[in-house]
Copies of this chain bind each other. A is one copy, B any other.
Amino acid sequence: MSPRWKWKGAEAKALAEPISKTVSILQSSLTRTEASGLLSNHNVLLSVEAEQAELLDRSCFGRPVVACAEKEDKRWIQLTFEEAFFLFYNLNCIKISLHGRRLENEVELWRFVRSIKPNFATSYKAYSHLRLKNWIVRPGLQYGVDFVVYRHHPSLVHSEFAVLVKSVDGNDRLRVWSDSHCSVRLTGSVAKTLLVLYINGEEVNREDMNLPLCLEDYTVEEVTVRRWSPELNREHDLSL
């Protein structure tokens, strides 16, 4: 399935402004101002300048918080744990505080987030795997999946893949045929392809799991799942 651009000229605009470049500018900017986020039980609230808020929007990190009172030149952005950890650990461009104290390193953040979200290791591995390939990754709740991914900003293009993350120890989805049918049918009906990311790794002991280093040991296997229609495949060149 080829990408479905939202309007004429959207593809050209996307090509002219690659996501990787926007992320790179964002990274420099956040590093320069030592942007800092507040960690809560649900998300991370990041305080940034107006220009940085725009860069975050263009590279699709977080959502602006519009309800709270704000100084004219400051914006609050609400980041998911995955987004915050990516900016903190992979891009190393934000600081994070918990209860007014700045976290010293990634291990502290990792431990806190994993205590709230036990499957964070595999979820983050999947998120960062896709982000590092410059896909835009958004929550997939409305389609009953873990993430949806876009080739470029959602204002330019529809999301192409609905992503389910599976691991050895967390086999909650696609255990039975009816679930696979349900997922394939739904993603098909919204013109997406179901992408299953299998996160493989050594059986990790509790001590290792306290360190984000375990991410290095994980491998990601990518499988797309589609409905096969015999009629569509008849009398076609088999070499295609």
Contacts and interface: CB of A to CB of B under 8 A. Distances in A.
Contacts of A184: 144
Interface string A64-100: 0000000000000000000000000000000000000
Interface stretch (A52-60, A107-115, A170-178): A170-178
A141 B179 contact: no
A179 B173 contact: yes
Contact of A182 (B175, B176, B186): B186
A70 B39 CA distance: 73
Interface size class of A (residues with CB under 8 A): 20 to 34
A160 interface: no
Contacts of A177: 141
Contacts of A186: 144, 182, 185-186, 189
A142 interface: yes
A172 B181 contact: no
B173 A141 contact: no
Contact of A179 (B142, B144, B181, B189): B144
Q: What secondary structure prevails in chain A residues at the interface with B?
A: helix
Nearest to A181: B144
A126 to B, nearest CB: 13
A178 B186 CA distance: 12
Contacts of A176: 172-173
A173 to B, nearest CB: 6
A210 to B, nearest CB: 24
A164 B146 CA distance: 22
A145 B178 contact: yes
A182 B144 CA distance: 4
Contacts of A146: 178
A177 B185 CA distance: 18
A181 B182 CA distance: 11
5 contacts: A144-B181, A172-B176, A173-B178, A173-B179, A179-B182
Which 10 A-B pairs give the minimum distances between C-beta atoms? A144-B182, A144-B181, A186-B186, A172-B176, A144-B178, A172-B175, A182-B182, A182-B186, A144-B185, A182-B183
